[in-house]
Amino acid sequence: MSARNLRLSLLCLMPLFASSSDALFQGAAWAQSADLPQRAVLAQSSGQNQYFPLSQYLPSLDVTPPRFLRIEPDGVQNNSDFFDQVMLATSNRVFRFTSMPIPVFIDPAPADYIAAVKRAFQTWETRTNSMIRFAPVADRQQARITVIWSHMGIPADRSATEFGAHTITEWKVKTGPFASQKTGTVKPQYIEVNLDVIDPRDADHKLPLLQNLVTHELGHAIGLMGHSPDRGDMMYRDTDEYSRISQRDLNTLQKIYSRKCDFPL
C-alpha cells in the first residue's frame, strides 16, 4: 500500500479594514467607546470586565475613540485550555517537537520585517520559560520551520477579513501490516506571510501585526493545531496587532508537550 500524504494549511484570519475607530479588544464582547472613560484599557477576568487607565501602560495617545488592548490582570488564575479543539483538528494525534532548540530560517526580507519575526520567536521562548526554544540556521535545508514571503492578493470575496498568513504542515501516515494509522512523519513546515496584507499598513501597525501573525502561526507550527474558540487567546482564529499569548495558550501547549508524541515535528 502506498503511503498516504496529508496536507494541513492552518489559516490566520485578521481584520482587513482596521481604523482608529474600531474596537479591537479580542478578550471580551465588543464595547461602545461612549461607555468607557477616555483612554481606558479593558480587561476580562472570569466573565467580569475591569477597566484600567491607559496612562498606566502606554504613553499618552491622541486617539479618539480609545483603542482596547487585551491584558490579563495580575494574580488571576486561569487553568482552562482548548486541548480538545487541538485534538479535534488532529484526529486525536499529538504533533509536537521532541527536542530543542528548533532550527528555524527566515527568507530574506527588509530588516524591520526580519526583526518583527524574530520578536515572534522570542515571545514564545519568553512566555514558555524556554520550554520552547528556537535556533536560527544559515542553511534553509536544515530548518524545521521556515518563514517565507508571498504576494497572495486580497480575494474579492474576502471583503471583511483576509488571510494574513498560514502554516503549511505536511505529514505522512505510517503504513504496513504493523503500522499504526495514528503515527507518522512530518516534513519541514512553512509559515507563509501575505505581503499584500502587511505592506499597505501604516508604520505604527504593520510591524506589530506582522509579529503577531507570525506568533500565531508559530503556535500552529509547534503543535497548537486548530484554533481556540476564545477571543482572548493568541490561537483564536482572528489575529491583530493587539493579540497576546494567553495563559490558556500556555496551558494547552503544556498539555500537548506532556503527552506522548505521535507525529514528531
Q: What is the pLDDT of residue 201?
A: 87
State residue 16's pLDDT score.
Answer: 39
Cα distance between residue 224 and residue 141, in whole Å:
24
Q: How far apart are CA 182 and CA 180, in angstroms?
A: 5
Instruction: Give one word for 245, left, alpha or beta, with left for phi > 0 and alpha for psi -120 to 50.
Output: beta
Query: Domain residues for 9?
Result: 4-20+78-264
- Mark whether 97 and 159 lie in a shared domain: yes
How many separate domains does the chain show? 2
**Residues 47 and 123 reside in one and the same domain:** no
| Omega within 30 of 0 (cis) for the link into 59 | no
Query: What are the start-end ranges of the H helices in the chain?
Result: 83-89, 111-127, 195-198, 203-221, 247-257
Q: Cβ(214)–Cβ(221) under 8 Å? A: no
Contact between residue 224 and residue 235 where contact means Cβ atoms under 8 Å apart: yes
Q: What is the model's pTM?
A: 0.72
Whether the CB-CB separation of 86 and 248 falls below 8 Å is answered with no
**37, 106: one domain:** no
pLDDT value of residue 20: 29
Instruction: List Cβ neighbours of 129 (8 Å cut-off, separation of 6 or more).
Output: none
Helix, strand or coil for residue 46? coil
Which CATH number is 178's domain given? 3.40.390.10
Cβ atoms < 10 Å from Cβ of 73: 11
**Same-domain check for residues 14 and 32:** no
Residues 238 and 173 in one domain: yes
Do 128 and 253 fall into the same domain? Answer: yes
Res 173: pLDDT: 74
- In whole angstroms, what is the distance from residue 106 CA to residue 117 CA? 8
Check whether residue 57 and residue 164 sit in a common domain: no
Q: Is 245 helix (H, G, I), strand (E, B) or coil?
A: coil
Question: Over the chain (265 residues), what is each successive 10-residue block's mean pLDDT?
Answer: 44 41 29 34 39 43 44 67 97 96 98 98 98 98 97 62 77 60 83 92 90 96 96 92 95 98 94
Indicate if 116 and 180 belong to the same structural domain.
Answer: yes
**Do 201 and 158 fall within a single domain?**
yes
pLDDT at 132: 98
- Note whether 82 and 209 are same-domain residues: yes
